[in-house]
Amino acid sequence: MSPDTLKYVVVPLIQIVVVLNVMLLAVAYLVLLERKVIAFMQVRLGPRRVGPRGLLQPIADILKLFIKEDITPARADRMVFFLAPVMIVVPAVAAFAVIPFSGKPFTVFGTEVPPWITDVNVGLLYLLAITSLGVYGVVMAGWASNSKYPLLGSLRSAAQMVSYEVPLGLSVVSILILSGTASMVKIVEAQAAQGVWFLFWRPYPQVVGLFLYFVSALAETNRAPFDLPEAETELVAGFHTEYSGMRFALFFLAEYMNMILAGCIVTILFLGGWLPVTFGVLPAGPLSTFLFGATLTGLFWFLLKVFLVLYAYLWIRATFPRYRYDQLMRLGWKWLIPLALLHVVITAIAALPRG
Amino acid sequence: MFGSTEMEINLGPQHPSTHGVLRLVLKLDGERILDVKPVVGYLHRGCEKLGEDRSYPQAIVYTDRMDYVAAFSENLVYVETIERLLGVEVPPRAQYMRVVLAELQRIASHLLWLGTHALDIGAMSVFLYCFREREQILDLFEAYCGARLTYNGVRIGGMPEDFPEGWADEARRFCDVFPSRLDEYHKLLTTNRIWLARTEGIGVLAGDVALDYGVSGPCLRASGVDYDIRRAIPYSAYPELEFDVPLGSKGDTYDRYLVRMEEMRQSRRIVLQALAKLPDGEIRGKVPRRIRPPKGELYHCNEGPRGELGVYMVSDGTETAYRCRFRSPCFVNLQALPELSRGHLVADIVALIGTIDIVLGCVDR
């Protein structure tokens, strides 16, 4: 095997398999985490029957979904009905290709393996582009079901996702200004070079940017308080009402994948990616590096931050009521977009002295 | 389906937010509601007919099954009607016990309303917090009569049992904790921007319109009409107890929410007063062995958690009623739903079903 084959074919393939499987497992346990965290917030105990402390619950859920009957409604458009869940999962999975999970490369059997699948110089654009493709799946699912509730749900969802794409994109512009690159790896490296997370960037901390991105991401991923498309009390289950079994599970999978993805992006753009929590406050400690090794330390901090972002997701879900459709639109167009524009301008002015 | 701009949608009878088996035929223009037609009767069990078929004491259990969320209030109004027909004196201790239980029942019922209403609007946690408190009340009822939902807890002429030992302390303990819990709900919802956006100005019901529809209870008082049967036509021990009747001004969903929240506080006040004043003595009045009210007819009503709970009873002098009609507040209040929801969005319909607080057992009887 030539070194090129190894570098460009074998290693990426292995990385893809590893990331994909880890993400699937992460989704399964994110569901469990969500159920547990929300249960504790609601003075309940959550799942605790399957396995020790309910730890095998996700496995049982997956098994259940696998053996459920796969129903296609009689008058559904079969082809589109079949394609919709695929259209929604593929972008969610593909987006992870440019996420750097840590900073320094591993060395496995003498081969250097970077802790990201690929580092393209338009990483951020790629992410924006590919995550917007998910809308197609939603619209297709609603249309193909040939049923009223899914149609209403998918229309809502499509309008919502398209609207919130704008503040989402705008909130990212300020990061591009600050880092001067669209590569996900270089964005974190820029934060390392400037010695501060972009969240705490001086003279203009990116708090507004984080807020904008987080709120837009909540809406993008159809999470509470913007979970109208699947508002159970109004539309039964929204665009995936007619889906069952594994196809339903794919929608579920995509939603949680997108949650994790949003957590990763927030971490990379605003929270310094794999940089330690003490970064910029304390000098780089030998202790943590000693404990985990450089790559694993980065991974640890990265995952910790992603976890905290996801925890905020769950917390919000347990706390807030749901917006109404028109209110959601008003919030998006009349408040978030002007705010995002203002934010970009302020960031640009603040960044002027640095040229 | 896509030819016209109007779309007809069936909400229910199997739908998570219709609180049972209510069916609504919605006529929509996009997401806007043009018209709503409630279709009721899926839970009709002929309670009125059963009331004419069984003897008076036997029929008390059927009243449990009507408004199963506030079974005690239904028991009470039915028994009081018979007592008035018979002309039986109820001893004061029994009267006070009835007030304590009826007000606890009102709190339990309002808690269920708050929980499901909030859940419909998407605030999931409130639902479980409300059930925590409701559970305590159900425990109290269980300790009193052994049942948690369908109590059959009143007898003609008095009460079946005295409070068990320590029950009053247990009830007081609940009353001590309860205000802090209410404050928690206020913190979660009352000033929450999303909650305000979803409830303020939604389903405005003017006072005179409410009266035209025959709306009663918290829905009426939220529209600013000061009518509480506990005040207007006092019964049981209410005249001797102090309490405020909260009123709304605008008559929207938010006002109805505030009125019910305050009613819970007032109910707790009544429970504490009644427990403090609880007289000693008999709990059963002098009742003939065979209950045969003299010929005559009577309408008697109580202030139930949902409004005017009434019984119209015609006695022909035998052991069964000739006619036993229940005026259900849910059924009457539900009439106002089309009026409330016209021009609002689909998402509001669930808030509106929640805000008029229907129990389908009570609607269909």
Interchain contact, A227 vs B122, CB within 8 Å: yes
Q: Quick check: A331 pLDDT over 70?
A: yes
Distances (CA, A) of A107 to A11, A114, B295: 12, 9, 98
- In B, which residues are within 8 Å of A38 by CB distance? 124-125
Shortest Cα distance, chain B CAs vs residue A44, angstroms: 8
Q: What is the pLDDT of residues A74-93, one digit of tens each?
A: 887 888 888 888 888 999 88
A 10 A CB-CB count for B232 gives 12
Outline where chain B has alpha helix (H).
47-53, 60-64, 71-86, 92-121, 124-145, 167-185, 193-199, 207-213, 218-222, 229-232, 253-277, 329-334, 337-341, 346-356, 360-364
Interchain contact, A233 vs B17, CB within 8 Å: yes
Number of domains in chain A: 1
Q: Quick check: B164 pLDDT over 70?
A: yes
- Which of A318, A324, A325 has its CB closest to that of B125? A318
- In B, which residues are within 8 Å of A325 by CB distance? 31, 345, 347
Is there a contact between A196 and A280 (Cβ–Cβ < 8 Å)? yes
The predicted structure's pLDDT at residue A285 = 56
- In A, which residues are within 8 Å of B1 by CB distance? 148
Interchain contact, B118 vs A324, CB within 8 Å: no
- In B, which residues are within 8 Å of A323 by CB distance? 194, 197-198
A 10 A CB-CB count for A22 gives 12
**Residue B285 phi, psi (nearest 5):** -80, 180
Is there a contact between B274 and B96 (Cβ–Cβ < 8 Å)? yes
Shortest Cα distance, chain B CAs vs residue A333, angstroms: 17
Q: Is residue A79 part of a domain?
A: yes
The predicted structure's pLDDT at residue A162 = 84
Q: Is residue A8 part of a domain?
A: no
- Which of A225, A231, A317 has its CB closest to that of B347? A231
The C-alpha angle with vertex B288 and arms to B284 and B294, in degrees rounded to 5, equals 120
Q: Is A44 helix (H, G, I), strand (E, B) or coil?
A: coil
* Residue ranges making up the domain that contains A349: 60-354
Q: Is residue A25 part of a domain?
A: no
How much is the average pLDDT of A279-302?
64
Q: Is residue A270 part of a domain?
A: yes
Distances (CA, A) of A208 to A175, A196, A272, A281, A302: 12, 17, 16, 22, 22
CA distance A301 to A102: 9
Of A103-117, B53-67, B344-358, least confident by mean pLDDT is A103-117
Interchain contact, B347 vs A324, CB within 8 Å: yes
Q: Give the full edge-to-edge strand order of the sheet including B32-39.
A: B6-11, B23-29, B32-39
CA distance A134 to A222: 12
Q: What is the pLDDT of residues A16-37, one digit of tens each?
A: 898 889 888 888 888 898 888 8
- In A, which residues are within 8 Å of B120 by CB distance? 233
Q: Is residue A9 part of a domain?
A: no
- In B, which residues are within 8 Å of A143 by CB distance? none
Q: Give the full edge-to-edge strand order of the sheet including B321-327.
A: B296-304, B307-315, B321-327
Shortest Cα distance, chain A CAs vs residue B14, angstroms: 10
Q: What is the pLDDT of residues A126-148, one digit of tens each?
A: 998 888 888 888 888 888 887 77
Residues on chain B bordering chain A, Cβ-to-Cβ distance under 8 angstroms: 1, 7, 9, 15-17, 31, 118-125, 128-129, 132, 188-189, 192, 194-195, 197-198, 345-350
Exposed/middle/buried for residue B222 (C-beta within 10 Å: 0-12, 13-18, 19+):
buried
Interchain contact, B347 vs A228, CB within 8 Å: yes
How much is the average pLDDT of B124-151?
89
Shortest Cα distance, chain B CAs vs residue A242, angstroms: 15
How much is the average pLDDT of B248-267?
90
Q: Is A7 helix (H, G, I), strand (E, B) or coil?
A: helix
Residue of B28, B188, B202, B346 to mutate, testing the A interface (most A Cβ within 10 Å of its Cβ): B346
Interchain contact, A318 vs B124, CB within 8 Å: yes
Sketch out chain B's domains with CATH numbers: 6-364 (1.10.645.10)
| The CA-based dihedral angle spanning residues B38, B43, B48, B54, taken in that order and rounded to the nearest 10 degrees | 180
B/e letters for B182-200, b = 16+ CB within 10 Å, e = fewer, are beebeebbeebebbebbbe
Q: Is B19 helix (H, G, I), strand (E, B) or coil?
A: coil
Chain B's closest residue to A224, CA to CA, is: B122
Single-letter amino acid code for the residue at A332? G
- In B, which residues are within 8 Å of A234 by CB distance? 17, 346-347, 349-350
B249 vs A282, more confident: B249
CA distance A100 to A103: 7
Shortest Cα distance, chain A CAs vs residue B346, angstroms: 7
Is there a contact between B92 and B160 (Cβ–Cβ < 8 Å)? no
- Which of A148, A225, A325 has its CB closest to that of B31? A325
Q: Is residue A332 part of a domain?
A: yes
Is there a contact between A130 and A94 (Cβ–Cβ < 8 Å)? yes
- In B, which residues are within 8 Å of A228 by CB distance? 347
The predicted structure's pLDDT at residue A339 = 92
| ipTM for the assembly | 0.76
Shortest Cα distance, chain B CAs vs residue A231, angstroms: 8
Interchain contact, A321 vs B189, CB within 8 Å: yes
Single-letter amino acid code for the residue at B318? T
Q: What is the pLDDT of residues A306-322, one digit of tens each?
A: 999 999 988 888 888 88
Q: Quick check: B1 pLDDT over 50?
A: no
CA distance A220 to B27: 30
Q: Is B23 helix (H, G, I), strand (E, B) or coil?
A: strand
Shortest Cα distance, chain A CAs vs residue B122, angstroms: 4
- Which of B9, B123, B128 has its CB closest to that of A44? B128
How much is the average pLDDT of B120-134?
87
Interchain contact, B123 vs A233, CB within 8 Å: no
Chain centroid offset of residue A117 CA: 17
For every residue of B299-346, DSSP letters joined together read EEEEEETTEEEEEEEEE-SSSBEEEEEEE-HHHHHHTTHHHHHTTSBH
Going B292 to B297 to B299 to B300, the CA torsion angle's sign is negative
Distances (CA, A) of B182 to B23, B111, B114, B177: 32, 10, 11, 9
How much is the average pLDDT of B210-232?
88
How much is the average pLDDT of A146-175?
84
The predicted structure's pLDDT at residue A300 = 82
**In DSSP terms, which residues pair with B217 in a beta bridge?**
none
A 10 A CB-CB count for B3 gives 5
Residue of A146, A324, A331, A334 to mutate, testing the B interface (most B Cβ within 10 Å of its Cβ): A324
Q: Is residue A77 part of a domain?
A: yes
Exposed/middle/buried for residue A289 (C-beta within 10 Å: 0-12, 13-18, 19+):
middle
Q: Is residue A3 part of a domain?
A: no
Q: Quick check: A282 pLDDT over 60?
A: no
